[in-house]
Structure 1
Amino acid sequence: MPQAAVPRFITARARWLAWLCALGALAAPVARFLPADKVQSLQWLVELPAHWQWLYLVVGATSLVLLMLSGRSGMGKGWLALPALAALVLGGVFLWQPATLPRGAEPADPGAVLTVGTANLNAATTDFGPLTDWLALADAPDVVFLQEFTELAQQALIRNPAVAARYPHRLAVPQPDPFGLAILSRHPLSGLQTLQPQDLRDTLRLRATLAWNGRAVHLSALHPMPPLDQGFAQARDRALVQEAQHLTAQPGGLALMSGDLNITPWARGLFAVDGSMRRANGMAPSWPNAFGWLSVLPLDHVLASSGWQVVGGGIGPDLGSDHRPVVVRLTAAP
């Protein structure tokens, strides 16, 4: 193949990839603006590709770099228009997300920081050594939300004396399916509630109140079904709204909702609760846990009421699951 054909081959495909990634990115705002009560199937279908914004950003940006490096050759007049437009779409849609908690300064008192973790354990997991090793660390989260919590996971936590001592307060509902839940806490829990599914599209939810630094922190744990069809997508969004409404109705002003929510920051469901619950974790993907480091979708979230500030956080260690845990460090806003 002549050398001159190689740049043209790359340029042509990079141009198509840049356009495809830009169109995929636009699925997110389009899905949010479609009236869900009138075009439910269309809204669901358009939202499915909207979740893959990290993929569009990485592939699209790589394609744009290749186009820029290839120069004007073979691109005709206005050759900068495509890269500029595609870059604007990719970057703009990626950053158009529900509001996040404001950043706060690290308090002088370590006890003024509440570290919160959430982890989907994968119901097929049988080796919980990585989980118990993580939870036994001195800097392990103060409160941990666990999904796909099975009886095997329950027994692993009970048999580990270090974990049992660190988390004496628990609300645990193991199940043989992927929808068991648990809340582990270093601080006292009260008002424990187990909400069983109301229909075939609903899933288990847990509620509790945490006593922390003389204040009540209201907790909701959930793991909605993935959006396999429009009904499951609506059930997921409905669960998020219901739990957000429940939390904001509680006295005290501090609340947390956490779990594998099977939703990304670009979907309608998180925008629906934006007025009452804000994302405490960043944009780092948590699923799938490929090779212990590569993930594409940010499905695991910690949502917090406006009375919090973020002082740190990130992705937790590899627990042998198909999800990576998410950890955030929070302090009460002054």
Structure 2
Amino acid sequence: MPRSLPVTLFSLFCWCCCLGAIAAAGLGLSAFAAPDFWLTDNMSFFLRQFLGAGAFGCVMGLSGLFLRHRLSKLYKFTVAIAITGMVVLAGLTLVRTTENTVSLAQSPDHGNQIRVVSINIENLFLGDTVLQAYLSAVNADVIVFQETLWWLQERRWERLGLPVGGAGSGGFPGNYHVGQLGGLVVYSRFPITGIRPITIDGETPPGANVYYDADRELISLTLETPSKAVKLVAIHPDSPRTKSRWQNKRRYFDATDDLIRDLRSANELPLLAIGDWNSAPWSARFQRSLSDNNLKTAYPGGWPQTTRFFFDYRLHWILGAPVDQFAVTEGLEVLGVSLGPDIGSDHLPLVVDLAVRN
């Protein structure tokens, strides 16, 4: 008995969903199987999307089992492959997510608490009213900005006749330090000492626009908190959107590892590394930096969420990736991790509450 046209079309749709789930699983698994290649390493940015698409494909594939297919055995085999691939991908993603995470401290009974906010402002003016309103509300002790373009910030403040830096007003703490390249800026309520700037030379890819600078900076400084001094490392490697920029990012990570090892061998001060890592938590290279340096991290709500979105904030769950991260040594207890609202950049603020052990 011939099938009706709707049944035939639905059968074809189920086939396509199964094949799509297999493709999603393959792309996601490539990030685990070949982490040292540019394209496959970048697949780690999209594991949530692959899992979502693959889960939909598996559900539709299972619904297709109630239909009569001309290649029935092959269809069942395809469904089994899709489900197996997605189960393996989900398992590896879960393991990688929890690999170097730490549980939130519930009731710290020693040390002082500090709130650190990290924002990639994408050259947004620091005097922007929406940004300053948010900073005033969040009341951070330390703010780490990336993509600040400090020379342009200075011109804007001077044009408005305002004090450059705005320290001590508009939600900004009273002390600040600007990186040598003007991309990283740290504000702090606590005195800033022990500043150690590092510049990592990068290779400029062909066709880069005039605003792109392949060189990146890495800042190490000491925050003199009331309980104990804390080492802070401000981070912002290159975005790995091309192979040459991915290589720039890898060199930056190598330099970061060297810096953290040097800082940890020099003293026993607790350390916080925070910023736009331009790396998903499922990247093997990111997790290697945590493991090799005995660093721990945590995520908003216990699961990596979008911090960098594309086109429109309302699409951040579909077109976005978790790239803003932090990591701490055992001298710091993580009390809470959350994300701020859309403040006009293409990144959301990352808010980390810490307790400094005496």
Q: 2-side partners of 1:212 and 1:292: how far apart?
A: 35
Q: 1-side partners of 2:82 and 2:16: how far apart?
A: 14
- Partners of 1:281 and 1:326 within 8 A in 2: no
2:257 pairs, out of 241, 244, 248, with 241
- Partners of 1:281 and 1:327 within 8 A in 2: no
Q: Which residue of 1 aligns with 2:42?
A: 48
- Partners of 2:306 and 2:322 within 8 A in 1: yes
Whichever residue aligns with residue 235 of structure 1, its letter is: R
1:218 pairs, out of 204, 219, 231, with 231
Consecutive unaligned residues in structure 2, runs of 5 or more: 204-213
Deviation at 1:333, TM superposition (A): 6.1
Consecutive unaligned residues in structure 1, runs of 5 or more: 37-42
Q: Which residue of 1 aligns with 2:272?
A: 256
Q: Which residue of 1 aligns with 2:210?
A: none
TM-score by length of 1: 0.84
Look up the SS of the partner of 1:218 in the other structure.
strand
Deviation at 1:254, TM superposition (A): 0.9
Deviation at 1:14, TM superposition (A): 1.1
Deviation at 1:212, TM superposition (A): 1.9
Q: Which residue of 2 aligns with 1:21?
A: 24
1:168 pairs, out of 163, 170, 174, with 174
Structure of higher CA gyration radius: 2
**Could you report, residue by residue, the CA deviation over 1:43-74 in whole angstroms, capped at 9, with x for unpaired residues?**
22321223211111121122222223444434
The number of equivalent residue pairs is: 320
Look up the SS of the partner of 1:309 in the other structure.
strand
Whichever residue aligns with residue 329 of structure 1, its letter is: D
Look up the SS of the partner of 1:136 in the other structure.
helix
- Partners of 1:209 and 1:216 within 8 A in 2: yes
Q: Are 1:305 and 2:329 matched, yes or no?
A: yes
For the structure 1 residues 45 and 199, does the alpha-carbon distance in structure 2 shift closer, same or farther, using more than 3 Å as the test?
Answer: closer
Look up the SS of the partner of 1:101 in the other structure.
coil
Deviation at 1:121, TM superposition (A): 0.6
Q: Which residue of 1 aligns with 2:243?
A: 229
Whichever residue aligns with residue 239 of structure 2, its letter is: P
| Worse-superposed segment, 307-316 or 198-207 | 198-207
For the structure 1 residues 127 and 185, does the alpha-carbon distance in structure 2 shift closer, same or farther, using more than 3 Å as the test?
Answer: closer
- Partners of 1:135 and 1:163 within 8 A in 2: no
Q: 1-side partners of 2:267 and 2:12: how far apart?
A: 63
Look up the SS of the partner of 1:306 in the other structure.
coil
| Worse-superposed segment, 240-249 or 320-329 | 240-249
Q: Which residue of 2 aligns with 1:39?
A: none
Q: Are 1:322 and 2:346 matched, yes or no?
A: yes
- Partners of 1:287 and 1:299 within 8 A in 2: yes
Deviation at 1:271, TM superposition (A): 2.1
- Percent identity between matched residues is 22
RMSD: 2.9
For the structure 1 residues 260 and 121, does the alpha-carbon distance in structure 2 shift closer, same or farther, using more than 3 Å as the test?
Answer: same
Whichever residue aligns with residue 218 of structure 2, its letter is: R
